Structure 1
Amino acid sequence: MEAIYVDKHYNLVVECKQGSKKAHYELYKLYSKAMLNTAFRIVDNLNEAEDVLQEAFLDAFARIKDFRQETTFGVWLKQIVVHRSINLLRKRKMDLVDISDEQIENLADDDQAEDDELIYKVTQIKEAMKLLPDGYRLVLSLYLLEGYDHEEIGQILNISENTSRTQFLRAKRKLIELLKQKGIVS
């Protein structure tokens, strides 16, 4: 027997399955900002992230009857967004930017000098991450920023869990090496 996970938006999902356009809109309002941020962190282009978001919601709503509530709607939708974002990257074969500016925006405005130094360091980390090979950046981003574990990353990227762990460790070592070269870490 399959486990069914009931989340706080269960009724909206049920209404969507029954064809309610209002429920579609409510789910969109609930999840669109977070999913746009996820797509943007992966594709690093707002217009493309918006396209990924729209396509992901269209896909999710088209397949909503297949959603069996084995997880939350948000987790299911995030998987769709990540897959669509990765597919877009594969099509354009360009670099990822893995760290968003959200961390900077959430800082307290207590000490401007500390804020400026932190902004500088975040910028340097972003630049160093751009120098990592695509596979390293992708695994690092999915693990650290999106919160996936290695088993999930393996499923998403169609690699083994051990390959994900290895890529992550190599990416972390390479990033630290690059940051040491720039004098960001000692």
Structure 2
Amino acid sequence: MTNTAIRIPTEIYEKIEFQASTEDKTVSAIINNILRKYVSWDQFVSDIGFVFLQKPFVRNIFEHVADDDLVRAAKTSCYTGMRDAISFIHGKNDAESIVDVLKLWFSASNFINKVIQADGKIEFRIQHNLGRKGSLYIGTLISSLFADLNIKSKEALLKEHSLVIVFSSTSKK
């Protein structure tokens, strides 16, 4: 850990201090989280083509797209964008890099998520609130990323506003 002194405008510091007190964290912890998010995700999002949209809008759009079209989009242009994000951020495409970038995406999208890596498997639990088609889209996209490593999902549970998808953590060559 490096100690440093930085100048922060008073009004920004006060907002950070307020957030720290409401979350029962230190100001330093909040600032470190902000910096970590910036260097691992925020500085790349515009370069790799991500935009921020409201969830109700995305859910509405998904409802007007046929399942086959949604799966095709997830497997092509959306997959390509996420694969590029993984390469851009990590410079390599392995399971660890995929998991890391997916976690960054979920966090930036305010998707409640839990990734469990144990017993030779990687399990994603994602609460997205984008409807059944959101689950279809996210599940297809994640499956496509792991397919690059010859890793297929062992099980997938797609629900109205959440999904669980499990992969073996080793590839099958």
Say whether the fold is shared (TM-score over 0.5).
Answer: no
TM-score, normalisation: structure 2: 0.32
Higher share of residues assigned strand: 2
TM-score of the pair, normalised by structure 1? 0.30
Give the helix-richer structure, 1 or 2: 1
